[in-house]
Structure 1
Amino acid sequence: MTMNDRRSTPGPIPNISGRDEPRYGSRERKEELAKGFLGEGAGYDEVRPGYPNGVLDAMLAAVGTAAYPRVVDLGAGTGKLALALAGRGCHVTALDTSESMLEVARSKALAGQVAQRFETRVAPAEATGLETQSADIVTAAQAWHWFETGAVSAEVRRILAPGGVLALVWNTLDVSVPWVHRYSRIAHAGDVQREGFLPDVGEGLELVTRHVEHWEDERSTWDFVRLATTRSYYLTASAKTRAKVLDNLDWYLHEHLGHAPGSRIAMPYRTDLFLYRPA
């Protein structure tokens, strides 16, 4: 049965969460969830959103004296942020532990004619293997909470050049909108950060700027069903649990909210950017 043929019988829908950030229960559970992304690539790239121009502008303004900033993107995935910065003239090194994700990024770099400013490296964020002071901007988009905070913070301080910045970015569903909050719970999305959220960073990094943008991503309803399949919860779940998540989203978008299957809708997002400098 294809997703478009699905006739849903919704299972229990989770209540609204009071969490401010992802919680994993244990280090082992965190590692299990992270491994769920290792074999993902094209599907992730097709339905995950990009980043608004205002966020890119704020990053580049922080190192305005660098004509062609050197960017190291940690946990780069399929290159959503890294390729956008390469398109702005930056020289980007994208790091990830998933070869399949980086393969998608390399293909997109070739298609977008930015390959001459874009390279990839399979490496963990905590041990990049890059030269000391080799980056003007270190970025982590949707990824910082997966790293070991102390080790990655020390590595960032090592590879940042004088005057450089660490840019931590999160696209999150705008759960201040009631229907989106309900969607996020059904999809078991981790996108539930609240207004007072601050990333956990190690010693020696000082927050200098916080920038927030509200925007919308327009896609088909089936794309927003598929979006759940890129979440760590879904990727590590049983077949029964996966089917229940998709059934519940089908029911919620098409029956409860009344959208025609396949019609285009706008999903409200917020993007939070945190800029740090070595203290």
Structure 2
Amino acid sequence: MADIPSLPQRAFVVSAQRRDELASAFQSGAESYDKIRPSYPDAALDFTLQNHPVRAVDIGCGSGIFTEQLVGHGLDVTAVDPSEDMLSVLAKRLPEVATLCASGEATGLAENSFDLVTYAQAWHWVDHPKASAEAARLLRDHGWLTLLWNQLDVSIPWVHRLARIMHAGDVHRPELEPPLGPEFKKPEHGIWHWSMPLDFDEIVELTKSRSYYRKATATTQAKVEANLQWYWTEHLGHEPSEKVQVPYLTHAWRSRRRTRR
């Protein structure tokens, strides 16, 4: 992906003010988000669970897409998110899961309580030094922090242009190592390619689930939708109801907590 100049050379670097402004877009609209956002491939779950954790905390859990996958693999999971709306959708899906409305920087959970901390599609929403310190506080010695992202595979030119029209802000250069605090060892990386069948209405819904669209004016939203319609139906030549395999990739980083002194 190094030949795609419009992707950031430094991933995850957003000012605190801008991060808070964009993150506020997810205080509502959780049900529509939940319907269109994809789950994570089995290989990414295997990567996350390689050390056979028993207790996990999924921070920035959103509507519970990844939380459900962790539960499905037998883990005792606590779900944390700053959006009550997102947690309400998660509670309908997973009524047995304990939830907590809190930030990743200060969960208030008991220290030394978990084998695994996960951030699926959420590490770019936190203050990294503070969130690293909090994850380390929550983990037992040698516990693991795993960060995951699903993103459009913009190494493919037509997908790259689609991502730009959608203003897909969570598309990073997957080879760039996410910032972690000194509490963690050098992270290991995994990457997996797959595709998601989408028609035009689903492309629009996916766009509407993104922070840029949610925070934009009605005029800007209409412009984005018009550009998508032109690109999808006229430039690419797809029928609106046609299911198209849209290339995705999942990349993940896992890091072991250093032993407490």
Q: TM-score scaled by structure 1?
A: 0.87
Q: Deviations over 1:68-109 (max 9, x none)?
A: x11101110001111111011111111001011111111112
Q: How does 1:1-279 map to 2 (within 5 A)?
A: 17-20=6-9, 21-22=11-12, 24=14, 26-61=15-50, 63-64=51-52, 66=53, 69-110=54-95, 115=96, 118-279=97-258
How much does 1:264 deviate?
0.9
How much does 1:203 deviate?
1.7
Identity %: 43
1:231–1:218 Cα change, 3 Å:
same
Does the CA contact (< 8 Å) of 2:23 and 2:211 recur in 1? yes
CA distance in 1, matches of 2:165, 2:139: 40
- Where does the alignment leave 5 or more consecutive residues of structure 2 unmatched? none
Q: Between Structure 1 and Structure 2, how many residues are aligned?
A: 254
Does the CA contact (< 8 Å) of 2:28 and 2:86 recur in 1? yes
CA distance in 2, matches of 1:122, 1:195: 29
SS at match of 1:165: strand
Q: Deviations over 1:24-79 (max 9, x none)?
A: 4x422221111111112001011111100000011111x23x4xx11101110001
- Where does the alignment leave 5 or more consecutive residues of structure 1 unmatched? 1-14
Does the CA contact (< 8 Å) of 1:184 and 1:191 recur in 2? no
Q: Deviations over 1:158-203 (max 9, x none)?
A: 1101231000001111000111000000001024322431111122
CA distance in 2, matches of 1:207, 1:104: 35
SS at match of 1:206: coil
SS at match of 2:88: helix
Q: Which amino acid aligns with 1:199?
A: P
CA distance in 2, matches of 1:23, 1:98: 22
CA distance in 2, matches of 1:155, 1:195: 24
CA distance in 2, matches of 1:41, 1:235: 12
CA distance in 2, matches of 1:40, 1:76: 15
CA distance in 2, matches of 1:205, 1:23: 19
CA distance in 2, matches of 1:166, 1:138: 5
CA distance in 1, matches of 2:98, 2:112: 18
Q: Which amino acid aligns with 2:43?
A: G
CA distance in 2, matches of 1:152, 1:163: 17
CA distance in 1, matches of 2:143, 2:12: 28
CA distance in 2, matches of 1:16, 1:157: 35
The alignment's C-alpha RMSD in Å is 1.6
How much does 1:267 deviate?
1.2
CA distance in 1, matches of 2:7, 2:41: 27
